[in-house]
């Protein structure tokens, strides 16, 4: 066992050279590469953390937006429901008003038709009644209806007493003796003579009655002086007929309403 | 029988002798440097890396961890010296399995050179850490009378380091040589494999002991400094 001091020195130099070489070719580069990798990983981790945070923020924002939308949707739905309900009520109200209006119009129309019908019925009835009465009188007693009507009117005129009679005479005098006798049908000359005689007898000889025929007004004979009127006709009979027909109409309409109510 | 490669002289010119120890040392150095250069020429600092880079990183990281465990300091300053000790000795010892290769660590000159390097490195690191006065004060602690014993301790420690490595490696080579002459088959191979293990262990022991010596020198100084600073502040 011996130590070669030249070799020892050479080996010391060799070792120091090796230390220097490895420091520059091994430890330095490897350590730096690892540090770079570590830095890069830290950067990536930080970046990932940042992105994660960003994603979480976005998630929260999205969630809030979603909730906002949900609330907005609910509010819009509620408003839409309220509006629809309001619209429904308005339409219903409008429909009811329309129905009521139409019903009123219909009832008014019905009433008018009914009135027209009754008026027409009255006119036709008057004519028919007149024709029937004339024929019945002629058949039964060979009597003239117009004369009978004139007789009825004269009896009515004669039955006036006291103040009523005086008022009538006064009105006739105020009209300068002009008075008008209306009849629905043209009176015969006999009937006119009888009536004129009765007027002269009851109200005054100076009076000059004029005879007129007219479709409207009394169904018999009517004396008109100023504002006063004396008449005889079939009104009471026709009123009875009209009343009976009206009662029949009322009964029918009551029945219809009760059926409609059911 | 040549028990040390120092005796294999390849070329001589006066006092300059080129023996097998120096030549095989150059071979080991060339192997280490070329390998390191080839691998670090294409270093990758992202997730994908070559197998060789991965191997070298594992080696470097393991050495750094080991140094950190022993010194409890940042290993960056000690890594080139201690790491090179380990790599050089380990490579030399492992290459001993190649027939015809004479490990330089089987030469007392090499181990003495390495031990001398450690002997010098201990005060160099200690002085770099705490200063010359602090380092020299350690030799007269606890009293001036301890100075000779401390000096003897330093010398014997360096001798032990040198002789331990030399003895182990040289003996491994000698045992194999003897066994080859007695039992030529099988048994020498087992001993060679055993030699690989002891070679690596010796490399580890040498590097760790060097680190322990350096760490004990630097830590004791910094510990004294810390105690003195705390006493001054109180």
pLDDT above 90: residue A57: yes
CB pairs under 8 A between A and B: 122
Residue in this structure with the two tokens 């309409």, named with its chain if needed: A253
Partners of B65 on chain A (C-beta within 8 Å) are none
Closest B-chain CA to A40: B46
Number of Cβ within a 10 Å radius of residue A231? 18
Residues A137-167: pLDDT tens digits?
888 877 777 788 888 888 888 888 888 888 8
> Chain B: nearest CA to A1, how far in angstroms?
8
pLDDT band at B234 (very low <50, low <70, confident <90, very high): very low
Domain boundaries, chain B: 5-233
pLDDT above 90: residue B171: no
CB contact under 8 A, B29 and A4: no
Domain boundaries, chain A: 144-247
The four Cα atoms A29, A31, A34, A39 give a dihedral, to 10 degrees, of -100
This prediction's pTM: 0.59
Residue in this structure with the two tokens 């000779």, named with its chain if needed: B148
Q: Please give the full DSSP string across A225-252, using - where no structure is assigned.
A: ETTEEEEESSHHHHHHHHHHHHHHHHHH
Residues B24-57: pLDDT tens digits?
999 999 999 999 999 988 888 777 888 988 999 9
From the list A5, A25, A31, the residue facing B60 with the nearest CB is A31
Q: Which of B32, B26, B36 is nearest to A25 (CA)?
A: B36
Q: Which of A182, A194, A181 is nearest to A219 (CA)?
A: A182
Q: Mean pLDDT, to the nearest integer, of A82-100?
A: 95
- For helices B108-130 and B79-95, the axis angle rounded to 10 degrees is 170
CB contact under 8 A, B113 and A15: yes
Q: Mean pLDDT, to the nearest integer, of A34-55?
A: 93
The confidence score (pLDDT) of residue B2 equals 58
Partners of B61 on chain A (C-beta within 8 Å) are 34
> Chain B: nearest CA to A42, how far in angstroms?
12
Residues B177-206: pLDDT tens digits?
787 788 777 777 887 788 888 889 889 988
The confidence score (pLDDT) of residue B231 equals 38
> Chain A: nearest CA to B233, how far in angstroms?
38
CB contact under 8 A, B84 and A31: no
């Amino acid at each position: 066992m011996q130590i070669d001091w030249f070799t020892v020195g050479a080996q010391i130099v060799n070792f120091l050279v090796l230390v220097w070489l490895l420091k520059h070719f091994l430890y330095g580069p490897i350590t730096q590469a690892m540090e770079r990798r570590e830095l890069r990983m830290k950067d990536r981790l930080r970046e990932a953390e940042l992105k994660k945070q960003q994603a979480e923020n976005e998630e929260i924002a999205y969630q809030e937006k979603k909730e906002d939308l949900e609330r907005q949707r609910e509010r819009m739905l509620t408003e839409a429901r309220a509006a629809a309900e309001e619209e429904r009520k308005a339409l219903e109200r409008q429909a009811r008003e329309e129905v009521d209006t139409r019903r009123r119009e219909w009832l008014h129309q019905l009433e008018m038709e009914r009135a027209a019908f009754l008026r027409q019925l009255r006119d036709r009835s008057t004519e028919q009644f007149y024709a029937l009465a004339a024929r019945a009188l002629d058949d039964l007693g060979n009597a003239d209806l117009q004369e009978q009507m004139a007789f009825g009117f004269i009896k009515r005129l004669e039955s006036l007493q006291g103040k009523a009679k005086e008022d009538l005479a006064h009105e006739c005098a105020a009209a300068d003796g002009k008075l008008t006798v209306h009849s629905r049908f043209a009176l015969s000359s006999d009937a006119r003579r009888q009536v004129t005689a009765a007027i002269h007898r009851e109200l005054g000889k100076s009076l000059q009655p004029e005879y007129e025929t007219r479709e409207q007004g009394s169904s018999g004979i009517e004396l008109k002086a100023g504002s006063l009127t004396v008449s005889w006709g079939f009104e009471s009979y026709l009123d009875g007929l009209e009343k009976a027909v009206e009662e029949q109409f009322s009964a029918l309409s009551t029945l219809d309403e009760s059926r409609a109510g059911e | 029988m040549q028990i040390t490669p120092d005796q294999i002289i390849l070329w001589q010119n006066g006092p300059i002798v080129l023996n097998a120890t120096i030549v095989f040392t150059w071979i080991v150095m060339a192997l280490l440097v070329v390998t390191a250069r080839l691998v670090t020429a294409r270093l990758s600092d992202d997730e994908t890396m070559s197998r060789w880079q991965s191997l070298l990183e594992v080696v470097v990281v393991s050495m750094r961890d080991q140094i950190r465990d022993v010194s409890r300091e940042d290993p960056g300053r000690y890594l080139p010296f201690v790491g090179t000790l380990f790599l050089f000795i380990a490579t030399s010892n492992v290459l001993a399995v190649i027939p015809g290769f004479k490990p330089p660590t089987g030469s007392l000159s090499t181990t003495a050179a390495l031990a001398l390097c450690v002997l010098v490195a201990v005060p160099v690191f200690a002085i770099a850490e705490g200063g010359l006065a602090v380092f020299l004060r350690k030799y007269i602690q606890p009293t001036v009378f301890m100075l000779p014993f401390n000096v003897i301790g330093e010398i014997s420690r360096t001798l032990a380091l040198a002789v331990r490595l030399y003895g182990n490696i040289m003996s491994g080579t000698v045992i194999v040589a003897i066994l080859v002459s007695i039992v030529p088959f099988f048994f020498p191979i087992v001993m060679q494999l055993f030699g690989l293990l002891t070679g690596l262990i010796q490399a580890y022991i040498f590097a760790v002991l060097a680190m322990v010596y350096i760490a004990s020198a630097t830590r004791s100084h910094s510990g004294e400094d810390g105690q003195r600073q705390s006493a001054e502040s109180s």
